[in-house]
Chains A and B, each alone.
Chain A
């Protein structure tokens, strides 16, 4: 009797486990970064997609931006990697050019889909003739000012470099009278090389300096205008002492903490910053203005380019199901989905024309500034080595110049030499 019961139980267990055979197509999706609310929104969207596409199941995993390149390279180089991934748009050159991403313009309805997006945002997903992603969140780097500190000092957000330097000097002070400076004009994010390069580049671009030549063959950031941009920050650190002395150790967390506790007055940030400040210090008021221009370029204040960054959704070139992956990323990034980026602060800007031109968009505090900056902004040059050059060469040398280990000219010349070698080697 006992044997019969055991046999019946075994059959029941096997029946249950075999009966749940899953014939669905499984797509692996890696999501890098994002605010908690954005991640929650994404999960809801994925659930909706699975409900409306019963034959497709999404296996989603959340990853950190800090690990993005090593995770992607480690997987792609052995022929693995997720079917769908969100990455920086400038990865189109590095990963798209290396054949890791599927050219989206091969899909028959690409032309129709591309019409959803603001044209210059879509363009930054292009490398040579192919488009490697659907725009996800637009980012322009701007100057964020602590309104309370500016108002207390009776000054307006700076427009030129002289005003910027003067504002930083005036806002650097000993507020409690103990003989030590406890409030600084400017904070720089120096503990994350990539993040530092992204915050320094806007000064170069606003000054009219180029990063690479148009044909992407020659390094140009050590031009006199580039040197002037770097000298501005070096002088603010070494001469005016208006930059936080410990900036080389700061990550975004420290920058946010200092800003929210009124220890710094200005920082170079993007659309994520208002939400971060709100989370930590609800109701805190900020000015969001363009990064200042050199005094002789004040006429171009509204049109001088800042650095544009963007996140895009890409499809693995080796996926078994490109059509399903295409359906999935269209669902995540269509005009209806994009409205979520207008209705809530998800840490970046919407990218579709319909969302950005909607009546709800008019109510967004910083949108006019960001839209104007994005219209003129430039992404990092579309060279496969650009991310490595920015993080591993440009950032460390410019940090050395700011703290005075090298002169701005020597630092940029040395960085340009190494970057040029990298580019020539790639050729």
Chain B
């Protein structure tokens, strides 16, 4: 009996994990090879037909392109802002600085749904604050439609996403900056290095591991992000800001084609799995070093 006790104790947790994690993933995988629809009879095996339908759908390729841009450009933007703020906070100390760090972290703790709605109102063409400010200094014409213009909508949701992610980057960069040995800067000062040279030859190389992890994490999280895009644009106008997670919902719960939706979610899963594998490899390599 003693032999089985650990397994018995583990069983509830394993069953729970299996039920909420493994079962949905396996069922989703099965559905992706079947004709599953909520609105018509079906259920038969279709092989890779759902995958073919996903890859032959032009909206998939549009959403894929948008997702890559949204994830990459949004993350890079967040990293740049996060790094700049971390540098400012690192060079100044004191109570004001701690208060500023707390203030800068606010976007990270705001619910994405709330943030999405707030951004939607900020960007409103007639009543939005952004248009009011920008038009009062003559940068844009009043009434510029940020979310209603197919050329601007993706850029706007990307900016909102970067705004949510930069505090995390800032905190990580700050930790990275504080772990750089001061002797390196002292030695560079003795050699007469300028602040810019110190930044490029000491700070940036030392921050490379943190940056890579942040970049990968940011891309993974943004790739998987549904909320911000759904709240702000629902993938519109005319699919201009459609991203893959929103498209899964579109296939599954707008067209009720669960087979196609499942196939797309498996495709996303494969992409994210690859990125996560790279992330873990990077972490283990860092630990070895």
Contact = CB atoms under 8 A, between A and B. Distances in A.
Interface stretch (A16-24, A321-329, A398-406): A398-406
Nearest to B233: A249
A356 B75 CA distance: 59
Interface stretch (A29-37, A70-78, A161-169, A331-339): A70-78
Interface stretch (B179-187, B200-208, B248-256): B248-256
Contact of A249 (B127, B236, B254): B236
Interface residues of A, number: 34
Contacts of A261: 126-127
B142 A182 contact: yes
B149 to A, nearest CB: 7
A263 B126 contact: yes
A262 to B, nearest CB: 11
Contacts of B142: 178, 180, 182
Contacts of B135: 180
A248 interface: yes
Interface in B225-272: 233-234, 236-239, 253-256
B145 interface: yes
A249 B238 contact: no
A240 interface: no
B148 interface: yes
Contact of A73 (B124, B145, B256): B256
A396 B148 contact: no
A245 interface: yes
Nearest to B153: A249
A392 B125 contact: no
Nearest to A384: B39
Contacts of B126: 182, 246, 257-258, 261, 263
Contacts of B38: 73-74, 77
Contacts of B234: 191
Contact of B238 (A181, A263, A396): A396
A116 interface: no
The main secondary structure of chain A at its interface with chain B is helix
Contacts of A400: 238
A246 B238 contact: no
B204 to A, nearest CB: 40
Interface in B107-165: 124-127, 135, 141-143, 145-150, 153
B254 A248 contact: no
Contact of A399 (B39, B147, B153, B237): B237
Contacts of B149: 245-246, 248
A178 B140 CA distance: 13
A249 B237 CA distance: 6
A190 interface: yes
Given A73-B39, A77-B38, A392-B254, A246 B147 contact: yes
Nearest to B123: A249
Contacts of B236: 191, 248-249
A49 interface: no
Interface residues of B, number: 28
A249 B255 contact: no
A263 B135 CA distance: 17
A287 interface: no
Contacts of B255: 388, 392
Contact of B124 (A69, A247, A254, A399): A254
A250 B148 contact: yes
Interface in A237-284: 244-250, 254, 257-258, 261, 263
Nearest to B239: A396
B248 to A, nearest CB: 13
A249 B145 contact: yes
A191 to B, nearest CB: 7
B238 A70 contact: no
A181 B237 contact: no
Nearest to B148: A246
B42 to A, nearest CB: 11
A79 to B, nearest CB: 13
A199 to B, nearest CB: 16
A38 B255 CA distance: 31
Contact of A180 (B39, B124, B143): B143
Contacts of A250: 148
A93 to B, nearest CB: 12
Contacts of B141: 180
Interface string A52-87: 000000000000000001100110010000000000
B28 to A, nearest CB: 15
Given A77-B38, A396-B239, 10 more contacts: A181-B143, A245-B145, A246-B125, A246-B148, A248-B236, A261-B126, A263-B126, A388-B39, A392-B254, A400-B238
The 6 closest A-B pairs by CB, nearest first: A246-B145, A246-B148, A248-B237, A249-B148, A246-B125, A249-B147
Interface of B: 38-40, 124-127, 135, 141-143, 145-150, 153, 233-234, 236-239, 253-256
30 contacts: A69-B254, A70-B254, A73-B39, A74-B253, A77-B38, A178-B142, A180-B135, A180-B141, A180-B142, A182-B142, A191-B148, A191-B234, A191-B237, A244-B125, A245-B125, A245-B143, A245-B148, A246-B125, A246-B126, A246-B143, A246-B146, A246-B149, A247-B148, A248-B145, A248-B148, A248-B237, A249-B153, A257-B126, A258-B126, A400-B238
